[in-house]
């Protein structure tokens, strides 16, 4: 029996998003199994990036003043907005499967890199990232560079904030585009990133201090598993290889890489303990 086509973009269950046909030959519904990892990956990864950017902007505001910190941040956000506006139409012209394959390969590079560092930190081979230490280091560097006053000092502070927000912002944009590679996933991924930005900025404005209590190393571990799982999934989608279980395969892949990462961290920790003993 032929299934009826959904009449609207929002047709279906409340937890599903409609997406376009691949090549006009089939339709599918993006279920919670696909949307949840996309939102989670964008939210967690964006939280990490925004925390790092906020730490540097806060250091600029403390040493140089609020004005250069705000000006640098706004300038970086403007550049990011223009870049996204220019790249958006270009991405829409790229075949979906080719885009998924390219993004999947990039996600594997980023995801495995994050996961590797997270495993080494969890195993004790690398020092844990400390936002309070990063804040102290940044403020010290800004004070050492304080060789001028007035507009020149404001320029140094504004450029420091600009570079921090731009670099971290580019990574946020890439992650959102990457996990939203399938039609219909871009909006959930963008909502996850926006939620992270609002949450981190609200916490930072209330506390007015480095967000050192956020478990950034644990978040990076989770992001590594999420990005790697998405990378494998999008590569196979781009090659046209079907996954058993459909969209639920993403959750399975993410769980697999997280479990493998935890096992490797335990192995590293055990070897270090034996070497120390």
* Residue 276 is assigned to a structural domain of this protein: no
Two tokens at 162?
Answer: 């600009």
Q: What angle do CA 52, 55, 61 make, to 5 degrees?
A: 145
Residue 57 backbone dihedrals phi, psi, to 5 degrees: -65, -40
Burial of 183 (0-12, 13-18, 19+ CB in 10 A): middle
How far is it between the farthest Cα atoms of the chain?
Answer: 77
* Residue 140 is assigned to a structural domain of this protein: yes
**Predicted pLDDT of residue 91:** 66
Residue with tokens 């290889």: 241
* Residue 8 is assigned to a structural domain of this protein: no
**Predicted pLDDT of residue 26:** 36
* Residue 203 is assigned to a structural domain of this protein: yes
Strand (E) or helix (H) holding 18: strand 17-19
* Residue 117 is assigned to a structural domain of this protein: yes
- DSSP, res 126: S
pTM value?
A: 0.64
Q: CB neighbours (10 Å) of residue 174?
A: 16
* Residue 139 is assigned to a structural domain of this protein: yes
* Residue 21 is assigned to a structural domain of this protein: no
* Residue 20 is assigned to a structural domain of this protein: no
Tell me the three state secondary structure of residue 30: strand
Half-sphere exposure of 3 (CA within 13 A, CB side): 8
pLDDT in tens, the chain (277 residues): 444 444 444 444 333 333 343 333 333 445 566 677 778 878 888 888 888 888 888 888 777 778 888 888 899 889 888 887 777 666 667 777 777 788 888 888 888 888 888 888 888 877 776 666 666 666 766 665 655 555 555 777 788 888 888 888 888 888 887 777 666 777 888 888 888 888 888 877 777 666 656 676 777 888 888 888 888 888 888 888 877 776 677 778 888 888 988 898 888 888 888 887 6
* Range list of H helices, 124-247: 131-144, 151-179, 186-207, 216-239
Classify each residue of 118-155 as buried b or exposed e, where b means 16 or more C-beta atoms within 10 Å of its C-beta. Answer: bbebbbeeeeebebeebbeebbeebeeeeeeeeeebbe
Two tokens at 214?
Answer: 């956020």
Domain with 232 in it: 34-240+248-263
Instruction: Compute the distance between CA of residue 262 and CA of residue 256 in angstroms, rounded to an integer.
Output: 10
How many structural domains comprise the chain? Answer: 1
Under 8 Å between Cβ of 130 and 44: no
| Residues near 155 by beta carbon (within 8 Å), at least 6 away in sequence | 68
Residue 4 backbone dihedrals phi, psi, to 5 degrees: -75, 140
């Amino acid at each position: 029996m032929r299934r009826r086509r959904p009449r609207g973009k929002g047709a279906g269950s409340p937890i599903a998003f409609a997406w376009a046909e691949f090549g006009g030959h089939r339709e599918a519904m993006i279920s919670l199994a696909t949307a949840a990892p996309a939102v989670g990956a964008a939210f967690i990864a964006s939280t990490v990036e925004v925390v790092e950017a906020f730490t540097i902007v806060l250091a600029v505001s403390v040493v140089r003043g609020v004005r250069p910190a705000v000006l640098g941040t706004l300038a970086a956000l403007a550049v990011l907005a223009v870049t996204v506006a220019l790249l958006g139409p270009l991405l829409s012209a790229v075949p979906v499967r080719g885009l998924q394959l390219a993004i999947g390969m990039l996600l594997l590079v980023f995801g495995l890199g994050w996961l590797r560092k997270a495993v080494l930190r969890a195993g004790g081979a690398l020092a844990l990232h400390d936002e309070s230490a990063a804040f102290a280091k940044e403020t010290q560097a800004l004070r050492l560079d304080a060789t001028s006053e007035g507009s020149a000092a404001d320029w140094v502070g504004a450029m420091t904030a600009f570079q921090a927000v731009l670099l971290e912002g580019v990574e946020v944009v890439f992650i959102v585009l990457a996990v939203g590679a399938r039609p219909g996933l871009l909006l959930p991924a963008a909502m996850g990133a926006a939620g992270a930005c609002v949450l981190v900025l609200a916490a930072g404005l209330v506390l007015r201090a480095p967000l050192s209590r956020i478990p950034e190393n644990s978040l990076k571990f989770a992001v590594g598993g999420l990005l790697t799982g998405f990378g494998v999934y999008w590569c196979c989608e781009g090659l046209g290889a079907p996954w058993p279980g459909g969209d639920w395969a993403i959750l399975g892949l993410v769980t697999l890489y997280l479990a493998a990462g935890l096992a490797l961290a335990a192995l590293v920790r055990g070897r270090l303990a034996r070497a120390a003993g």
